[in-house]
């Protein structure tokens, strides 16, 4: 998925939100970094993947913090809230393989690219609402795409995995005048798409409302993709998390 495609998807979600009474759009930078390990089977199928893990930040050299765009759109209609969000991470680096990576041998010097995209659409129904507290539950569908490509002097190997994940979803908010503290979580363990694994999508934030139509927000996002399966016609094993701080400005219409 290209950044232009991600923007198109979020724009479509925002048009759906426009049908509600009011909608809320946020945009800003996210300071994200990837961590974890990934393994890729060779053409002959002879590798033991558990013995040939390469770390994202160490062996592959793509664990530095990167500035990524963070987008969000939502609408509230009575007790219902619909929200779309997305960001992408594009990292490049150099490293030395600690284990074989497909057909690239351990010890090879590699230049690596990591592309990660996350798009989510959630629905939450308000279960509890008091003067200073709100709690809602519902469902979220996340699209997650991971592409890790390593190039050496003798060749190139790539893991590409994409998955749609339906997840139970909860969110909670506490209100203190113009300040709101919030958190939401979506978790699933299932065999989906390319992999059988665990998927976590967690967020915590604080927002400050400036008048009726503007606010600023700061928060932390954590995503975990821990799966083993088959992608790019090869078996793979990936335990990768992407996390970071985001800051955004929002407007209501």
DSSP calls for 152-166: ETTEEEEEEEEEEEE
3-class secondary-structure state, position 83: strand
**pLDDT > 90: percent of the chain:** 77
CA–CA separation, 183 and 109 (whole Å): 41
Confidence of residue 18 (pLDDT cuts 50, 70, 90): very low
CA–CA separation, 217 and 249 (whole Å): 6
Predicted confidence at residue 209, as pLDDT, reads 95
Predicted confidence at residue 188, as pLDDT, reads 93
- Tokens standing for residue 211: 């008048």
Report the relative pairing of strands 66-77 and 80-96 from DSSP bridges. antiparallel
63-80: per-residue pLDDT in tens?
A: 999 999 999 999 998 999
- Per-residue b/e over 152-175, b at no fewer than 16 CB within 10 Å? beeeebbbebebebebebbbbbee
Instruction: Give the CA-trace dihedral at 193, 245, 10, 187, to 10 degrees.
Output: 40
Q: Given a cut of 80, is residue 3 above it in pLDDT?
A: no
Nearest to 195 by CA among 168, 221, 223, 159: 159
Q: What is the CATH code for 3-252?
A: 2.40.128.90
Confidence of residue 211 (pLDDT cuts 50, 70, 90): confident
Nearest to 30 by CA among 200, 215, 244: 244
Question: Phi then psi for 79, rounded to 5 degrees?
Answer: -90, 0
Domain ranges of the chain: 3-252
Nearest to 184 by CA among 200, 195, 162: 200
Q: What is the mean pLDDT of residues 180-209?
A: 91
Contact 72, 84 (CB under 8 A): yes
- Tokens standing for residue 220: 């932390």
Question: Phi then psi for 227, rounded to 5 degrees?
Answer: -145, 155
| H-state helical runs in 62-157 | none
240 to 45, 47, 62, 84, 144: CA distances (angstroms): 23, 20, 12, 23, 12
22-67: per-residue pLDDT in tens?
A: 789 999 999 999 999 999 999 888 999 989 999 999 999 999 999 9
141 to 82, 124, 167, 169, 236: CA distances (angstroms): 12, 12, 6, 9, 23
Contact 197, 229 (CB under 8 A): yes
Q: What is the DSSP letter of 46?
A: -
Q: Given a cut of 80, is residue 166 above it in pLDDT?
A: yes
């Amino acid at each position: 998925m290209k950044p232009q495609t991600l923007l198109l998807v979020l724009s479509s979600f925002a048009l759906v939100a426009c049908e509600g009474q009011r909608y809320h759009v946020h945009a800003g930078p996210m300071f994200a970094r990837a961590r974890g390990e990934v393994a890729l089977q060779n053409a002959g199928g002879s590798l033991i993947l558990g013995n040939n893990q390469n770390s994202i930040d160490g062996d592959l050299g793509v664990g530095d913090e990167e500035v990524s765009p963070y987008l969000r759109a939502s609408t509230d209609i009575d007790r219902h809230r619909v929200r779309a969000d997305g960001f992408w991470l594009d990292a490049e680096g150099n490293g030395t393989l600690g284990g074989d990576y497909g057909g690239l041998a351990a010890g090879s010097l590699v230049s690596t690219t990591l592309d990660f995209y996350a798009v989510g659409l959630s629905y939450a129904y308000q279960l509890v609402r008091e003067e200073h507290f709100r709690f809602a539950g519902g469902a979220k569908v996340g699209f997650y795409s991971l592409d890790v490509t390593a190039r050496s002097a003798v060749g190139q190997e790539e893991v590409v995995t994409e998955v749609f994940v339906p997840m139970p979803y909860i969110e909670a908010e506490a209100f203190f005048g113009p300040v709101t503290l919030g958190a939401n979580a979506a978790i699933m363990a299932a065999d989906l798409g390319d992999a059988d694994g665990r998927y976590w999508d967690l967020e915590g934030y604080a927002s400050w409302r400036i008048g009726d139509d503007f606010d600023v927000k700061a928060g932390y996002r954590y995503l975990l993709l821990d799966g083993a399966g088959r992608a790019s016609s090869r078996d793979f094993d990936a335990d990768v998390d992407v996390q970071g701080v985001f800051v955004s400005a929002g407007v209501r219409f």
